[in-house]
Structure 1
Amino acid sequence: METRPSASLLLPALLVAAGIAAAGFLVGRGVTMVRTADRTVSVKGVSEREAKADLAIWPLRIMASNDDLAAASATLDRSVQAVRTFLAVNQLDSTAAEITVQEFVVQDQSSMGSSGARYVIRQTIVVRSSRVDLVQQASQRVPELVRQGVVLSSGQEYGGGGPTFVFTKLNDFKPAMIAEATARAREGAEQFAKDSRSELSGIRTASQGFFEILPRDQAAGISEESQVNKRLRVVTTVTYGLR
């Protein structure tokens, strides 16, 4: 004999299904919370923009080693000059960039029990420029330096060794993005009010999320700092009254 669900079990199941369907509909419209007791609805609005980095910081870490300290120092001097020439050839001379020499370090490897060359000398040339396209292009030609015998090492002071591209003009975008995010939140609230045969009675509370600077192209292993092109994002949450 076929057993049919009783009416007492069927009605709660139908109510649960209807609730799940309604929740999916509201989330799709940016509605995050509805309070029937005090007649409010909370909605989120999102604004995004594409932006381009306006500052590049590029540390070139040079290393030379030899059992003779004077010979290691001479090799380092030649490498520093080769890097300066390389930057000038790539239009990153003193007129297009601020170039500083930092972090001169000499290590006696014999004191650490190393079996390699006794002396290791390191120095860093830091390029700081607003001409980010030139820095990006030059960074792709680093193998030319290696072919000239320049030994480069990576470090963690400025990231993974390549240029860091910075966007410094976020404040110029904030007013328009906040206005857009707020307008989109209101659109979601108005649509909910229309669908529920209600009217908005004004803003009860509003909060602005943090501005995010994200890589335009998001993929594993790609950081925001390594990309010239960025994506700006902000989310606002607004609670409206309903009547």
Structure 2
Amino acid sequence: MNRNIIGIAIAAVGFIIGLAFLGNAIKNRNKADNTISVTGLGSNKFTSDLIAWSGNFSRNSFELKSAYDELANDKKVIENYLVSKGIAKDQMVFSAVDIQKQINYGTDANGRSTQTFAGYQLSQKVSIDSKDVAKVENLSRNITEIINLGIEFTSSPPNYFYTKLGSVKQQMIADATKDAKQRAEKIAENSGAKLGNLKKATMGVTQITAPNSTEEYSYGGTFNTSSKDKEASITIKLEYEVN
């Protein structure tokens, strides 16, 4: 008889404790649900203040020394040309000479594969980084002037950068945070609630594209270098308690 009473008492206590845990869990769950998550956007348009441009020139000859001498002469001509266009020598970077053996592949009268030496191709690259964007941009567009000097020259499209991107990012973060908070306040107001403490803030990656373009954003961030004019954006996700 005593054992039955003790068993019933233990079961009753366990039931009460279980109800207490369940009530606390429901309370905590409801508390966790009383939040607002919003995403704010910060954006900025700016113009690049740094340009990077490069071009390649080459010579072909069956004699290695002859090709090298011709390429060295081309380098002097290109250097003098760039100086005449207002480019300082310390802004020019010439790469090491690249040497490639040219081979012609074919078949003989018996259908066997053949290899014929076709000479050497020597090439070199010149690169320029400058804050005088307009000057180098104009240079890249008038590269036929170098070709007219008798040099086999190939120009690459210039790349554009912005040296004050750090300050732009700071302003975008501030704008995105302000935008997100205003959204949260409006949602709380329309719901008849009051915005509480900030619980969590998550910053997205910076996306830099050409203005009014169809470029897609990427998970790791987009960084457009082909456009002189750029538009940057960043998102901030805020989570607030609601009272």
- TM > 0.5 between the two? yes
2:160 paired with 1:165: yes
What is the Cα deviation at residue 43 of structure 1? Answer: 0.6
| Pairing 1:26-65 to 2, within 5 Å after superposition | 38-65=33-60
Instruction: Name structure 2 gaps, 5 residues minimum.
Output: 1-29, 106-113, 216-222
Q: Which residue number in structure 2 is paired with residue 128 of structure 1?
A: 129
Q: In the aligned structure 2, how far is the partner of 1:201 from the partner of 1:168? A: 39
Q: In the aligned structure 2, how far is the partner of 1:63 from the partner of 1:120? A: 7
State the AA in 1 paired with 2:135.
Answer: L
What is the Cα deviation at residue 187 of structure 1? Answer: 1.3
| Pairing 1:152-191 to 2, within 5 Å after superposition | 152-153=153-154, 161-191=156-186
What is the Cα deviation at residue 51 of structure 1? Answer: 2.1
- Identity among equivalent positions (%) equals 24
SS of the residue corresponding to residue 225 of structure 1 reads: coil
What is the Cα deviation at residue 237 of structure 1? Answer: 0.3
**Count of residue pairs brought into register by the alignment:** 199
Instruction: Name structure 1 gaps, 5 residues minimum.
Output: 1-34, 155-160
State the AA in 2 paired with 1:195.
Answer: N
- Return the TM-score normalized by structure 2: 0.72
Quick one: structure 1 residues 213 and 241, their matched pair in 2 at CA, closer, same or farther if it must change by over 3 Å? same
Q: Which residue number in structure 1 is paired with residue 94 of structure 2?
A: 101
Q: Which has the larger radius of gyration?
A: 2
Aligned partners of 1:63 and 1:153 also within 8 Å: no
RMSD: 2.6
Q: Which residue number in structure 2 is paired with residue 146 of structure 1?
A: 147
What is the Cα deviation at residue 92 of structure 1? Answer: 1.5
What is the Cα deviation at residue 140 of structure 1? Answer: 0.8
Q: In the aligned structure 2, how far is the partner of 1:117 from the partner of 1:76? A: 18
SS of the residue corresponding to residue 92 of structure 1 reads: coil
What is the Cα deviation at residue 110 of structure 1? Answer: 4.3
- Return the TM-score normalized by structure 1: 0.72
Q: In the aligned structure 2, how far is the partner of 1:174 from the partner of 1:66? A: 52
**Larger mean Cα displacement after TM superposition, 188-197 or 101-110:** 101-110
